Amino acid sequence: MPTDPFRDLREELCRGHRRLAEAGLVALSFGNASGIDRTAGVVLIKPSGIACDALEPDMLVPVALETGRPLDSRYRPSSDTPTHLVLYRRYPELGGIVHTHSPQASAWAQARLSIPPLGTTHADHFAGEVPVTRALRRHEVAGAYELETGHVIVETLERLRLHPLDMPAVLVASHGPFVWGASVTEAVDNAIALEIVAAMAADTLRLRPQARSVGRWLLERHHSRKHGPDAYYGQRPSTPT
| Catalytic positions | 124, 233
As a whole number of angstroms, the distance between CA 201 and CA 129 comes to 11
Give the amino acid at 188.
V
CB 172 within 8 A of CB 131: no
CB 78 within 8 A of CB 47: yes
How far does the chain reach from its first CA to its final CA, in angstroms? 37
Residue among 157, 169, 175, 15 at smallest CA distance from 79: 175
Give the amino acid at 12.
E
Spatial neighbors of 222 by CB under 8 A, at least 6 apart, are 120, 123, 124
As a whole number of angstroms, the distance between CA 241 and CA 231 comes to 24
Residue among 133, 139, 177, 138 at smallest CA distance from 158: 133
Tell me how far CA of residue 5 lies from CA of 17, 37, 130, in angstroms.
20, 9, 35
- CA 54, 48, 141, 170 dihedral sign is positive
**In 129-214, beta strands by DSSP E:** 169-172, 176-181
